[in-house]
Amino acid sequence: MDRVRAAALRDLLAATGAQADWVEASDEFGSALRRAPRHVGSLLLAGPVDDEPWHLAAHLTDESQWADLPQLAPVLLRHDPPPDAPPHLAAGLQRLESTGRGEALLVVAQHDPTDPLLERIGDARRRGARILTLDQSATQLRDLAHDTLTVPDEPGPLTFDTAQHLISLAAATPYIGPSGLRARLGRWIEAVSGPRVERW
């Protein structure tokens, strides 16, 4: 899903009303994520051992380039990176041991991860890192977070995967607060067709 389709889905969810509250919450969460890392390389991204958030890492990297926000490009923390991994895929969970103030950790986990990862997250929080979580039913993880967003577990176009697209989009877009359907549709039309040009 590219950013135009993600924006269209976001506006559709907001316009239909079924997920409007979640869309508003996702905008606020994206704004918190945008502000959390203080410098390039200070946004860390982690997930469970069996579901590392590669997809979100790629989208946040793309959005950071599109929005000229280099601090939004995450460092993906892997559970067991191979010795010959390229530099951008070589960071392990040991990186959390030096995490502190001015850094942010985004944890993406549909369900609660294993206790060792929860302990590392708690340690990073105690050292001053900002903890953000995206989950669906991870109550223990949520308890460790400064900012959290929960994806509803119900049928519809909003899934845990599509939510990650919307979060990366929200993080790269300045938050302007609630707005009406007309403003949302206007932003969608501009994203698809380009900005309006006044002729004189």
Is residue 198 one of the residues assigned to a domain?
A: no
> Residue 76 maps to which CATH number?
3.40.50.10490
**Domain region containing 174:** 3-193
pLDDT, tens digit, 9 for 90 and up, residues 3-22? 767 676 776 666 666 677 88
Q: How many domains does the chain contain in total?
A: 1
Is residue 200 one of the residues assigned to a domain?
A: no
Is residue 71 within 8 A of residue 64, CB to CB? The reply is yes
For the chain, the straight-line distance linking the first and the last C-alpha, in angstroms and rounded, comes to 37
pLDDT, tens digit, 9 for 90 and up, residues 30-54? 999 999 999 999 999 999 999 999 9
Is residue 138 one of the residues assigned to a domain?
A: yes
How many C-beta atoms surround the C-beta of residue 89 within 10 A?
12
Q: Mean pLDDT throughout 57-83?
A: 92
Is residue 163 within 8 A of residue 152, CB to CB? The reply is no
Is residue 182 one of the residues assigned to a domain?
A: yes
Percent of the chain with pLDDT over 70: 78
Mean pLDDT of the chain: 84
Is residue 170 within 8 A of residue 145, CB to CB? The reply is no
pLDDT, tens digit, 9 for 90 and up, residues 110-152? 999 888 999 999 999 999 999 999 999 999 999 999 999 999 8
Percent of the chain with pLDDT over 90: 55
